[in-house]
A and B are shown apart, each in its own frame.
Chain A
Amino acid sequence: MSKTYETVIGLEVHVELATKTKIFCGCSTEFGGAPNTHTCPVCTGMPGSLPVLNKGVVEKAVAVGLATNCTITQNCKFDRKNYFYPDNPQNYQISQLYYPICRDGKVEIEVDGKKKFVRIHEIHMEEDAGKLVHDPFTDSSLVDFNRSGVPLIEIVSEPDMRSAEEVIAYLEKLRLIIQYLGASDCKLNEGSMRADVNLSVREVGSSEFGTRTETKNLNSFKAIARAIENERERQIDLIESGEKVVQETRRWDDTKEYSYPMRSKEDAQDYRYFPDPDLVPIVISDAWMEEIRRSQPELRDEKRIRYKEEYDIPDYDIDIITNSKKMADIFEEAIALGAAPKKVSNWLMVETMRLMKEHSVDADDLSFSAKNLAALIALVESKAINGTVAKEVFEKIFTDDIEPEQYVEEHGLKTVNDAGALTKTIEEIVAANPKSVEDYKSGKEKAIGFLVGQTMKAMQGKADPGEVNRILKEILSK
């Protein structure tokens, strides 16, 4: 009889904090600089250099801890994690082992309508490492320390997840909380959010955990789902064939859909942590904590409730709009500029979604301004342009964030409001299409559509279709 297995998953999530400078020095954290142009003696591990903690890192870490229901460690400190690797210039990483800044939190997730809590064991602050690039010409490695010292928090969950769906729901939850806090942009594909999956399997009903492995190098939700499925199968196969699961770190190769054990960094398991003598303890007073709590912006769950109360838009739309802080910001700003919530929501849900798909743009990367969307909506409302023209203009707003009034003016897209000119054109169309006129008069209502179309064509699309309809009917009824 075949046994049924349960997957037990815990996550270690690294998040790059969106501070302007590194955690222990005044170097910029900006992306894309030439190699080693954002470095200094501290983040390259020069002897004698001394780290000084960035206050913004503590504030962001505390904000994340409070938003994930953690207890804040009001007396915390940094420790050194010792290991040799060329991306780590000091030969130790400054991290937190003994007194992590946050502990014992939890977030609620929902999968298929079922809600559950995932507990957070701890959140600690640490520094990122540099980047190694293999140089094929000299068969050596080249080190860039621009990322060395960029602040990270590592969020360690309890082994509370049981499926890839739960893992993704948990990551989405963290992403939204952290993005709304403004603590990070949390992009898996760019590495500002990284998840390592600790996974074991056990027979259903068993109360003991199996031996777990850790899988790294997961750069998308799809990769995470595939890696979980793959690792679950691999472990079950081992157990079924009487072999043992080895506790190890594995690297996922998403193109081959296969993971392999990472060459263990020799003896690297003994990190010999000890308190960092260069950094003094951090004391987080009640007052400081309260200040951070008070300045917490509206989070997603609160936003969903408020949108439901304030705006007459469907729940589904609310979910989509608030699923990205960027989109929610555009929505609220456009409304603040006077656009009707329902109209803004329609532009986001229909045209924006369509163009996002067409241009493969994520909601977080939307680059148009709420101001231009609001201006476009105002142009449509005032009947200055018609719906077809509006869609055309919106495409330009979406890609280049153009100013709609100016664009419409320059391209002569304004609806012709000259009733005399419109009537004249319609009369010409009617005269030129006696067949359609006859059809209409003999009861074929649809024939009017052809006449409207011909008129719009003659007006180069710059007429209000409602107005064309009205005048046409008036003329035809004569």
Chain B
Amino acid sequence: MVITDETIEYVGILAKLELSDEAKEQAKKDMSDMLDYVSKLNELDTDNVPAMSHAFPVNNVFREDVVTSGDTREQLLSNAPEQKDGCYKVPKTFD
């Protein structure tokens, strides 16, 4: 399957990635290979196979509505590049 320049540009924008021309070419090829690989599935006759959304025959995995986590703020915040007043500090963002 051919990946066009427009497609790779668009996917780049959605993924917030800036790609060099060289990387773009490589990505086009990789993506094309992946799609070809997956398209093998199209050769199967799936007319009588029910649609599924999960690979394992498991359903209804629940937790009871009980509080189990405590305050681990310091530990979690230690992963943040920047913090202030107990919050994650990020570039100014508007609605």
A143 engages B59 (CB within 8 Å) = no
Measured as residues with beta carbon below 8 angstroms from the partner, the interface class of chain A is 35 or more
Q: Is there a chain A Cβ closer than 8 Å to B61's Cβ?
A: yes
* B45 located at the interface, meaning its Cβ lies under 8 Å from any Cβ of chain A in the complex: no
B94 lies within 8 A of A263 (CB): yes
Whether A142 lies near B67 (C-beta < 8 A) is no
Least CB distance from B55 to A in Å reads: 8
Question: Secondary structure of the A side of the interface?
Answer: loop
Instruction: Select one of A19, A28, A39, A55 contacting B72, CB under 8 A.
Output: A39
A106: CB under 8 A from chain B?
Answer: no
- Which residues in A have their C-beta under 8 angstroms from that of B40? none
Q: Restricting to B27-76, which residues have a CB under 8 Å from any CB of A?
A: 53-56, 58-69, 71-73, 76
Give the residue name and chain of the B residue nearest to A27 (CB): B69
By beta carbon, the residue of chain A nearest B57 is A280
CA–CA, A28 and B77, complex, Å: 18
Most buried by B among A27, A139, A263: A27
Determine whether A357 belongs to the interface, using a CB cutoff of 8 Å to chain B.
no
User: Count of B residues near A, CB < 8 Å?
Assistant: 39
- Closest chain-B Cβ to A272's Cβ sits at a distance in Å of 7
Does A52 contact B16, Cβ atoms closer than 8 Å?
A: no
Are the C-beta atoms of A55 and B90 separated by less than 8 Å?
no
Q: Is B63 touching A26 in the complex (CB atoms < 8 A)? A: yes
Nearest CB on B from A405, distance (A): 38
Query: A141–B90 contact, CB under 8 A?
Result: yes
A34 at interface by CB-CB < 8 Å:
yes
Between A and B, how many residue pairs show CB distances below 8 Å? 136
* Contact B88–A142 (Cβ < 8 Å): yes
Q: Is the CB of B72 within 8 A of A281?
A: no
Q: Please classify the interface of chain B as helix (H, G, I), strand (E, B), loop, or mixed, using the class held by over half of its residues.
A: loop
Report the bound CA distance from A447 to B93 in whole Å: 75
Which residues of chain A from 243 to 292 have a CB within 8 Å of any chain B CB?
A: 251, 262-263, 266-267, 270, 272, 275, 277, 279-283
Chain B residue at smallest Cβ distance from A85: B93
List chain B residues, Cβ under 8 A from A266.
13
B67 with A21: CB separation less than 8 A: yes
The residues of A that contact B16 with a CB separation of less than 8 Å are 84
The proximity string for A residues 148-183 relative to B, scoring 1 for CB distances below 8 Å and 0 otherwise, is 000000000000000000000000000000000000
- Among all A-B residue pairs, the 9 with the closest Cβ atoms: A26-B68, A56-B65, A142-B87, A55-B62, A275-B53, A143-B88, A40-B69, A35-B86, A86-B90
Further contacts, 19 of them, CB under 8 A, given A53-B61, A141-B93: A20-B65, A25-B69, A35-B85, A35-B87, A36-B86, A37-B71, A55-B64, A57-B65, A86-B91, A86-B93, A132-B90, A139-B92, A140-B92, A142-B90, A277-B55, A279-B61, A280-B56, A280-B60, A280-B61
Residues of A within 8 A of B (CB): 19-21, 25-28, 34-41, 44, 46, 52-58, 77, 82, 84-86, 98, 132-135, 138-145, 251, 262-263, 266-267, 270, 272, 275, 277, 279-283
